[in-house]
Amino acid sequence: MAAFNGNLGQKFVPRPPEKGSFPIDHLQECTDFKEIYMDCLKKNKHKIEPCRVFARDYLFCRQNNELMAKESVERLGFADLRDVPTHEKVKAPP
């Protein structure tokens, strides 16, 4: 049974996410970066700050493998990491 939401006369119109959707990494091209990030979170009791560089590298990997749209470091929220080198297997998008 569906839950009643109170909108009797209004039809629900779904909207895509603001940034759109992006494909799942079926070929596991960025799995190593994801695992490094997740391991960092576990080791740091799920505190994000020490792991931000790994999150940035994971997003760069996704961009380089066309798994998400290319965005600047600033738009991704990593402007402060602009001068921090990326890991060997990933390059910052142009």
Give how many domains the chain has, as a whole number: 1
Q: Which pLDDT score is estimated for 5?
A: 55
Residues 39-64 have pLDDT tens digits of 999 999 999 999 999 999 999 999 99
Please choose, from the candidates 67, 75, 2, 57, the residue with its C-alpha nearest in 3D space to the C-alpha of residue 28: 67
- DSSP assigned state of 12: P
* Domain span at 72: 35-81
Joined tokens for residue 61? 């990997």
Residue whose tokens read 């940035």: 56
Q: Is residue 59 in some structural domain?
A: yes
Stated as kind and residue range, the H or E segment containing 58 is helix 52-64
Q: Which pLDDT score is estimated for 26?
A: 87
In which band, very low, low, confident or very high, does the pLDDT at 87 lie, cut at 50, 70 and 90? Answer: confident
Stated as kind and residue range, the H or E segment containing 43 is helix 31-43
Residue whose tokens read 């600033």: 74
Q: Is residue 68 in some structural domain?
A: yes
The answer to whether the predicted template modeling score (pTM) of the entire model surpasses 0.85 is no
